[in-house]
Amino acid sequence: MKMELFARSPKHLPIFKYTFGASGPRALIIGGVHGDEPEGVIAAQGVLAALNESFNYALQVIVIPEFNPEGIMNKQRMNSHGVDLNRNLPTKDWSPIAAKERYFPGPSAGSEPENKALVHLLETTPLDLIISLHSWNPMININGSGCQPEADILKKYTQYPIEPDIGYPTPGSLGTYAGKERNISTITFEIQRDIEFDKISKIHVPALLECLKQTEKRTRS
Ligand SMILES: [Zn+2]
């Protein structure tokens, strides 16, 4: 496992990236994009701990468990600039107008340091699968082609519905940027909000680990 500094938040908090494996298809797992969704951080940290204990996969896995450390510390959705990082990516439909205040997309597309680093990662590292871990109404939101086998595994463990469309546009989101616009298989895994953390360790972490077994079967991008 290789641990690297991925980026620094606006107030210079470190954001770490952990890489496992050296060859095969590549998967990216991100937690904590929204700081008030600890369920996603718990799931990402659980996957990180499991992979660190034993890594028996013929693929590369990048884990960024706490993408928005300022939001996590402040228990708020946004970073310290008040920006919703899942509305700030430079998508074609990015707009400076927020649908609601909590979706503030930032002063310009891709303005935030967290997202600058993410865009750089996506531009320099071909990825076969992205899973972003959030919490809300339980849902497996899929964007980009080829998500179905992994989505089916998440559904098998959680009984959450698989939704190709959440019913409203999400400009500046990772699903739009990576999935819709770059056709990278991108799953936004909305874990049930306020679920006990124990359940996440028992259900969602094993589900994600089995997903990685499935991703091994892909041909490398
Ligand atoms: Zn979220």
What is the DSSP annotation of 138-196? SEEEEESTT-HHHHHHHHHHH-PPEES--SS--TT-HIIIIIITT--EEEEEEEETT--
**Assigned domain for 221 exists:** no
Q: How far is CA 197 from the centre of its chain?
A: 18
CA of 23 to the centre of ligand 1 (A): 31
Measure 74 CA to ligand 1 centroid, in angstroms.
Answer: 15
Q: Does a structural domain hold residue 63?
A: yes
Q: Max Cα separation, the chain? A: 45
Q: 141 CA to middle of ligand 1, Å?
A: 12
Q: Number of C-alpha atoms within 13 angstroms, CB side, residue 88? A: 28
From CA 30, how far away is CA 66, in angstroms rounded? Answer: 7
What's the distance, Cα to Cα, between the start and end of the chain in Å?
Answer: 21
Asked if the structure places residue 148 within a domain, the reply is yes
Confirm whether 157 is domain-assigned.
Answer: yes
Q: How many CB atoms lie within 10 A of CB 31?
A: 29
| Residue 196 belongs to domain with CATH number | 3.40.630.10
Residue 175 · residue 88 · CB < 8 Å:
no
Is 220 inside a domain boundary?
Answer: no
Q: Is residue 172 part of a domain?
A: yes
Task: Classify residue 190: in a domain, yes or no.
Answer: yes
Residue 192 CA to ligand 1 centre (angstroms):
11
What single-letter amino acid sits at 10? P
Q: What is the pLDDT along the chain (221 residues), one digit of tens a residue?
A: 999 999 999 999 999 999 999 999 999 999 999 999 999 999 999 999 999 999 999 999 999 999 999 999 999 999 999 999 999 999 999 999 888 888 999 999 999 999 999 999 999 999 999 999 999 999 999 999 999 999 999 999 999 999 998 888 899 999 999 999 999 999 999 999 999 999 999 999 999 999 999 999 998 76
What total of structural domains would you count in the chain? 1
22 alpha carbon to ligand 1 midpoint, in Å?
A: 30
Domain extent, residue 42, equals 2-215
- Do the domain assignments include residue 147? yes
Q: How far is the CA of 68 from the centre of ligand 1 (A)?
A: 11
